[in-house]
């Protein structure tokens, strides 16, 4: 068992966050960091912990997707059993709601990363799920969505046509584009060449409508087109958050029944 980890580290001040999580990987792995600005201090802090780490400086385009594609194209993916895609994510001043859960500050980043490698248990569970024959992609249960933004759909349909796969509006994917997956999925993704000009140079947290956002969906479409399922996993914190949301929903429904009882027909 060997895995390939890609971390797009646009925000260098988050390097310690990711180094701590990488300590939870319990099998041999290679890791490549993509950087939009080279920084010797960042490199040295990583190399002190992981002497075999690789680095690739890329243009600040395509959010985390363009750097991921650039990095993956430099490896023989058939030498690995799992690809782990992670990236730094800016702190949000305002709250965003996804699947009736609210995220502010670094919560969105943490709830994407920690179910995958937030602890040794989480990492082992990620691998356990991915090794199931029918599973092709694993990520945060709370951030699986099945409906992309309408403004992304034209790009997404065009990409699916390029790949010769069927676009489905109800396709599952991970909002935030962090996941573990089978290398075969990324190998298929790399069969379409991408140019720098196709990706927007505007990379701000929370934006939508770009090729990178359509690729977020295409990863999920490709997984399911190849006959694999997408599996959600939890960390202890994300499970508590999900359970609390469910309990609140049940409680509010009960209150509505109490104060606004259904009117029976005459």
190-202 pLDDT tens trace:
999 999 999 875 5
**Confidence at 149, pLDDT banded by 50, 70, 90:** confident
CB crowding 246-260: b at 16 or more within 10 Å, else e: eeeeeeeeeeeeeee
Which residue in 58, 5, 57 sits closest to 27, CA to CA?
Answer: 5
> Which residues lie below 8 Å from residue 151, measured CB to CB, with a gap of 6+?
208, 209
**Confidence at 207, pLDDT banded by 50, 70, 90:** low
Say yes or no to pLDDT of 12 above 90. Answer: yes
pLDDT of amino acid 260: 44
Determine the CATH number of domain 3-259: 3.90.550.10
pTM listed for this prediction: 0.91
121-141 pLDDT tens trace:
999 999 999 999 999 999 999
Distance CA 215, CA 82 (A): 19
Supply 112's token pair.
């994407």
Block residue for tokens 């109490």: 258
CB 57 within 8 A of CB 89: no
Spans of all domains in the chain: 3-259
224-240 pLDDT tens trace:
999 999 999 999 999 99
């Amino acid at each position: 068992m060997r895995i390939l980890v890609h971390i797009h580290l646009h925000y260098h001040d988050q390097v310690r966050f990711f180094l701590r999580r990488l300590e939870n990987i319990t099998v041999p792995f290679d890791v490549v960091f993509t950087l939009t600005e080279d920084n010797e201090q960042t490199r040295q802090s990583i190399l002190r912990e992981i002497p075999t780490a690789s680095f690739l400086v890329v243009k600040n385009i395509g959010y985390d997707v363009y750097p991921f594609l650039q990095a993956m194209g430099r490896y023989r993916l058939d030498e690995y059993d799992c690809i782990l895609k992670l990236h730094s994510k800016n702190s949000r001043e305002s709250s965003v709601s996804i699947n009736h859960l609210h995220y502010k500050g670094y919560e969105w980043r943490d709830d994407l990363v920690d179910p995958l490698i937030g602890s040794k248990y989480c990492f082992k569970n990620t691998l356990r799920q991915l090794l199931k024959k029918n599973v092709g992609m694993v990520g945060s249960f709370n951030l699986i969505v099945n409906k992309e933004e309408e403004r992304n759909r034209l790009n997404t349909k065009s990409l699916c046509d390029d790949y010769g796969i069927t676009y489905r509006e109800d396709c599952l994917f991970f909002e935030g584009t962090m996941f573990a997956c089978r290398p075969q999925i990324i190998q298929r993704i790399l069969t379409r060449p991408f140019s720098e000009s196709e990706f927007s140079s505007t990379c701000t947290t929370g934006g939508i409508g770009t090729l990178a956002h359509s690729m977020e969906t295409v990863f999920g479409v490709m997984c399911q087109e190849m006959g694999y399922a997408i599996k959600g996993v939890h960390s202890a914190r994300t499970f508590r958050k999900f359970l609390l949301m469910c309990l609140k929903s049940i409680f509010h429904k009960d209150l509505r029944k109490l104060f606004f009882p259904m009117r029976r027909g005459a």
